[in-house]
Amino acid sequence: MYKIAKANLPALFRLIAENQELYLPVNTADQVNFAAWTEDAQVDLDKLKTVKSPKDVFFPQSENLYSCVKDGKKISIEPEALKEQNFVVFGMKACDIRGVEVLDKVFLAEPVDSFYKARRDHGTIVAMACHEPEESCFCKVFGIDCADPAADVAAWMIGDELFWKPITEKGEALTKLAESLLENADEAKVEAEKTAIRSIVEQLPYSDLSLEGWNGDVLMDKFNSPVWEELYKPCLACGTCTFVCPTCQCYDIKDYDTGHGIQRYRCWDSCMYSDFTMMAHGNNRTSQMQRFRQRFMHKLVYFPANNGGMYSCVGCGRCVEKCPASLNIVKVVKAFQKQGGSNS
């Protein structure tokens, strides 16, 4: 266990950035999101959670796949280079780290997504414990301990000091890089901090949310439930929930005419949109109810059915905070609890 004074963190960031790219929470126009570190960046490690999850350092909101270049009658295909530069993501919370584990299940399964894998191979995650979880948080429901996040390095901000614990080989390598700024520390303060955080978690309104009746074995029971017909009606189909979510992985592939060829890229998409997966024959989900149902069935039924019981929700609470119609996953679970959620 090590520690570093909070006042020395700019020096730590500078040292890391000299050797590799560094991404961390940055305040821009009063909005905190993960961004590349610069000398003048307004770093905000005290912010509990960013507006968007930091998943886009591994799964970018938009990325080029390849280009088709036309030279006279000759057309050449130029694949986009895979990520080769090492980088550090500093300050990820336990819920967002679980979100990356969910993405791993999707993009590292056969056939492996080479763009995603290259970023995972070159990325080092420094996890930050949640000093004071908020009312919208419910990560405990999914077995996540926000007091003791597991990544390459675990960190705790306690008073004017940041405590630092390497966990993996990547974490040890980063620790060695920063050893000139780190000093040995006793774990007593960290253990006390963990206890305090867990005490807060126990008092949060959604920490005891029950997932009873949600798993991969209740597909038709939940799919055919009449609860959906009433629940979906306030949905605006804005897609906000999917874009702030740490685990949503839907994307579209599009072509851009550069004037001398075509650039093929992929970008995030949303299952809440009416043109999602639209094909020549139309769309399999023709109503907003069906699209609404798809999102939550995937999180709570389809994904655990295919991934050993792992849910595709991490309890970060972003949809609780951002949905303009308050149709978040907590409301869905509670609605089924209240109304039985069966097909009877």
Strand bridging mode 21-28 / 31-36: antiparallel
Place of tokens 């799919």: 223
Flag whether pLDDT at 181 surpasses 70. yes
Compute the average pLDDT of residues 36-58: 95
Flag whether pLDDT at 212 surpasses 60. yes
pLDDT in tens, 100-149: 999 999 999 999 999 999 999 999 999 999 999 999 999 999 999 999 99
Strand bridging mode 261-268 / 251-257: antiparallel
Flag whether pLDDT at 342 surpasses 70. no
Structure tokens at 129: 């414990």
User: What is the secondary structure of 235-293 as a DSSP string?
Assistant: -----HHHHH-SS---EEEEEEE-SSEEEEEEEE--TTSTTTT-BTTB-S--SHHHHHH
Flag whether pLDDT at 206 surpasses 80. yes
Burial class for 113, CB neighbours closer than 10 Å (0-12, 13-18, 19+): middle
Those residues whose C-beta lies under 8 Å from the C-beta of residue 154, and which sit 6 or more positions away, are: 127, 129, 148, 164, 165, 167
Compute the average pLDDT of residues 228-247: 93
Place of tokens 């055919």: 224
Flag whether pLDDT at 167 surpasses 70. yes
**pLDDT at residue 276, rounded to an integer:** 78
Q: Whole-angstrom Cα distance, residue 16 to residue 40?
A: 16
Give Cα 210 distance to the centre of its chain.
22
Flag whether pLDDT at 60 surpasses 90. yes
Strand bridging mode 2-5 / 183-184: antiparallel
For residues 247 and 52, the answer to whether their CB atoms sit within 8 Å is no
CB atoms within 10 A of CB 333: 24
List beta partners, residue 23.
36, 89
**pLDDT at residue 199, rounded to an integer:** 97
**What is the pTM for the complete model shown?**
0.92
Compute the average pLDDT of residues 237-261: 91
Compute the average pLDDT of residues 258-267: 89
Domain ranges within the chain, ordered by starting residue = 2-66+83-203, 219-250+271-339
Number of H helices, E strands in the chain: 12, 12
For residues 148 and 139, the answer to whether their CB atoms sit within 8 Å is no
Burial class for 107, CB neighbours closer than 10 Å (0-12, 13-18, 19+): buried
- Three-state SS for 304? helix
**pLDDT at residue 322, rounded to an integer:** 93
**pLDDT at residue 233, rounded to an integer:** 93
**pLDDT at residue 286, rounded to an integer:** 78
- Three-state SS for 24? strand
**pLDDT at residue 341, rounded to an integer:** 46
**pLDDT at residue 279, rounded to an integer:** 64
Q: Whole-angstrom Cα distance, residue 148 to residue 167?
A: 12
How confident is the prediction for the chain on average, in pLDDT?
Answer: 92
Burial class for 280, CB neighbours closer than 10 Å (0-12, 13-18, 19+): exposed
pLDDT in tens, 281-297: 666 777 899 999 999 99
What's 213's DSSP letter? T
**pLDDT at residue 28, rounded to an integer:** 95
Flag whether pLDDT at 37 surpasses 80. yes
Compute the average pLDDT of residues 7-27: 96
Percent of the chain with pLDDT over 90: 83
**pLDDT at residue 157, rounded to an integer:** 96
Place of tokens 């069966």: 342
**pLDDT at residue 6, rounded to an integer:** 95
pLDDT in tens, 79-93: 999 999 999 999 999
Compute the average pLDDT of residues 222-229: 92
Greatest CA separation found in the chain? Answer: 71
Burial 152-177 (b: 16+ CB within 10 A, else e): bbbbbbbeebbbbbbbeebbeebbeb
**Per-residue confidence band for 340, with pLDDT thresholds at 50, 70 and 90:** low
Q: Which range among 69-73, 161-165, 280-284 has the greatest average pLDDT? A: 161-165
